Amino acid sequence: METFAPARPFVHNPGFRDDCQRVKAALDLNAIDVPIRAIITAFNKLRYCYTLQCCYGHFLHAMQSEPHNLERLPAHDVGQVHYRIAYLALCLDNSAPGLCLRSLLERVPEIGAGYIQFSSPGWFWEQCPNSYALQVEPERFCDRDAATIEYQEALRVQSVRDRFFERLEEIAGDCA
């Protein structure tokens, strides 16, 4: 699945309020990976944003084949690792607070240059104008939702993913 498209500028979205209420009412926190539930809850408390999809990111290897596992990589080399991307997709209101939040989100890739992308995937934008996604994926695979990488790079991705979600938690808290 293609996951990357350049970030787009804000457009007028008269349906934002209705969409926001509908999506927030249907949110099932039990469907969210446990390590990021608090972050998703925090973003959905903001009146000028709602989340669309998210994933904590999953590492599969010879010793771990459960596709939805939340385990960290082992301390010893396990060879090739199949990584399924960590990401957060959300829709923002075309307003001063929404623009401020977008500005903060645009800077998140700075914490993991070459491993974090800010974008506007087309399938989100078509359904929800002013949709943005942040993903943790080695840049050479930025247009995919999974990649097979060597163990040492997987450790780097795991570290970036951890800082990524820490930063998103800070942003959600700062915007509350």
| Residue 29 within a domain | yes
Query: Taking the CB of residue 158, how many other CB atoms lie within 10 A of it?
Result: 17
Contact (CB, 8 A) for 16 and 131 = no
What single-letter amino acid sits at 51?
A: T
| Residue 2 within a domain | no
What per-residue confidence (pLDDT) applies to 169?
97
| Residue 9 within a domain | no
Q: What share of the chain is helix, strand, coil (3-state, %, to 5)?
A: 45, 20, 35
To the nearest 10°, report the CA torsion of 122, 126, 127, 128: 80
Dihedral sign from CA coordinates of 124, 128, 132, 133: negative
pLDDT at 155 over 80: yes
Rounded average pLDDT over 150-161: 98
What per-residue confidence (pLDDT) applies to 92?
98
pLDDT at 1 over 80: no
Q: Model confidence at 123, in pLDDT bands (50, 70, 90)?
A: confident
CA 42 to chain centre: 14
Mean of the per-residue pLDDT values of the chain = 95
| Residue 26 within a domain | yes
pLDDT at 62 over 80: yes
Q: Model confidence at 6, in pLDDT bands (50, 70, 90)?
A: confident
| Residue 5 within a domain | no
| Residue 11 within a domain | no
| Residue 6 within a domain | no
Domain count, the chain: 1
Domain range for 56? 16-175
Q: Tell me which of 31 and 4 has the higher pLDDT.
A: 31
Of 85, 95, 119, 93, the residue nearest 105 (C-alpha): 119
Rounded average pLDDT over 73-90: 96
CATH label of the domain that carries residue 24: 3.30.1960
| Residue 92 within a domain | yes
Q: Beta partners for 55?
A: 87
| φ, ψ for residue 118, nearest 5 deg | -110, 130
Rounded average pLDDT over 108-116: 96
State pTM to two decimals.
0.95
